[in-house]
């Protein structure tokens, strides 16, 4: 008896088309690293909002949208090029072995030129706000793509610190789009983001130690072990404690919340020296870091909202 043949009906064509569109969307989201974009846009918005608040400027919607879209494009472009460059080591790590640069679902050359094009478009968009905002965007891109991805990531354990410069730039972009001269508060946003990133990413590196080891990436936990990494994490978290003092103009509510968040993170960090399960502790630290960033920056916005009296 003949084997039944699959009939390509209009219904199956629609299903196949939907699956392909969904797969393409998933591939693009993987390339641009949506999670990274979202977290950085929170800090960009906070920088923009606080610049409006401290300078007494009016909230310009066109400038705001240009700032957010420009920043998103610059970050997305940098992430795409990061994926393109790391295509030789990504197959060796379980968290990256399904990226389109590995599976081949999108041609490599298309990915490369996509990254370059999106990056350039982002910087051009930012230039329509202020030139300093565009310069900050270009600087962040340069650090992430050239100094981190192509230089330090595969050579030095300090790669995390190098990459932190790019991750600390978004609030400066947001601020500079309103006030190119910047103020102390803008620099404090940069410092908070710069210091926050090292314990955040070192906790992730502990969680993914085996992946990084397999790929030959010299992350601190791979080269110097968990104890050294724990000490570095605690030192960086401790450095966050005094920074909110320089943002005292945001009020006592902010100071209390910021100090409580930092102290809680520090206590959790110290507890790591007494826990037996390092991987569980690293997960807790990683999750806490995400909540720390979100709560801290959302609080900055909430305490400066024009509440009616």
In tens, the pLDDT along 91-125 reads 999 888 889 999 999 999 999 999 999 999 999 99
Q: Residues near 205 by Cβ (< 8 Å), separated by ≥ 6?
A: 160, 212, 219, 220, 221, 222, 229
Q: What is the spatial distance between Cα 278 and Cα 272, in angstroms, rounded to a whole number?
A: 7
Q: What is the spatial distance between Cα 66 and Cα 219, in angstroms, rounded to a whole number?
A: 36
Q: What is the mean pLDDT of residues 24-31?
A: 89
Q: What is the spatial distance between Cα 212 and Cα 262, in angstroms, rounded to a whole number?
A: 28
- pLDDT-based confidence at residue 23 (cuts at 50, 70, 90): confident
pLDDT of residue 24: 84
The two structure tokens encoding residue 109: 């050359």
* C-beta separation of 200 from 289 below 8 A: yes
What average pLDDT does the structure give for the chain? 92
Domains of the chain: 30-302 (1.10.357.140)
Q: What is the spatial distance between Cα 304 and Cα 256, in angstroms, rounded to a whole number?
A: 15
* C-beta separation of 255 from 242 below 8 A: no
The two structure tokens encoding residue 244: 């909110």
- pLDDT-based confidence at residue 9 (cuts at 50, 70, 90): low
Q: What is the spatial distance between Cα 290 and Cα 285, in angstroms, rounded to a whole number?
A: 9
pLDDT of residue 307: 58
pLDDT of residue 8: 55
Q: What is the mean pLDDT of residues 181-196?
A: 96
In tens, the pLDDT along 278-292 reads 999 999 999 999 999
pLDDT of residue 22: 63
């Amino acid at each position: 008896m003949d084997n039944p043949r699959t009939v390509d009906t209009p219904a199956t064509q629609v299903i196949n088309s939907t699956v392909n569109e969904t797969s393409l969307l998933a591939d693009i989201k993987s390339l641009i690293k949506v999670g990274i974009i979202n977290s950085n846009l929170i800090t960009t918005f906070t920088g923009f909002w606080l610049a409006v608040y401290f300078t007494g400027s009016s909230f310009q919607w066109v400038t705001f949208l240009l700032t957010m879209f420009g920043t998103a494009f610059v970050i997305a472009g940098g992430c795409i090029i990061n994926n393109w460059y790391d295509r030789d080591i990504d197959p060796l790590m379980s968290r990256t072995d399904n990226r389109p640069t590995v599976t081949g679902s999108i041609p490599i050359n298309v990915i490369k030129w996509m990254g370059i094009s999106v990056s350039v478009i982002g910087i051009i968009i930012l230039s329509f706000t202020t030139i300093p905002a565009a310069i900050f965007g270009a600087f962040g891109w340069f650090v992430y793509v050239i100094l981190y991805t192509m230089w330090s990531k595969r050579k030095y354990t300090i790669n995390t610190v190098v990459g932190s410069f790019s991750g600390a730039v978004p609030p400066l972009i947001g601020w500079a789009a309103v006030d190119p001269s910047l103020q102390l508060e803008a620099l404090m946003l940069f410092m908070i983001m710069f210091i926050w990133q090292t314990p955040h990413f070192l906790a992730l590196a502990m969680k993914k130690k085996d992946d990084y080891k397999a790929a030959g990436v010299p992350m601190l936990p791979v080269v110097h072990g968990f104890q050294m990494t724990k000490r570095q994490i605690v030192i960086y978290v401790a450095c966050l404690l005094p920074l909110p003092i320089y943002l005292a103009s945001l009020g006592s509510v902010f100071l209390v919340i910021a100090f409580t968040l930092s102290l809680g993170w520090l206590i959790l960090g110290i507890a790591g020296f007494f826990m037996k399960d390092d991987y569980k502790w690293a997960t807790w630290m990683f999750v806490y870091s995400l909540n720390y960033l979100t709560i801290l920056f959302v609080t900055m916005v909430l305490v400066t909202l024009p509440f009616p009296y």
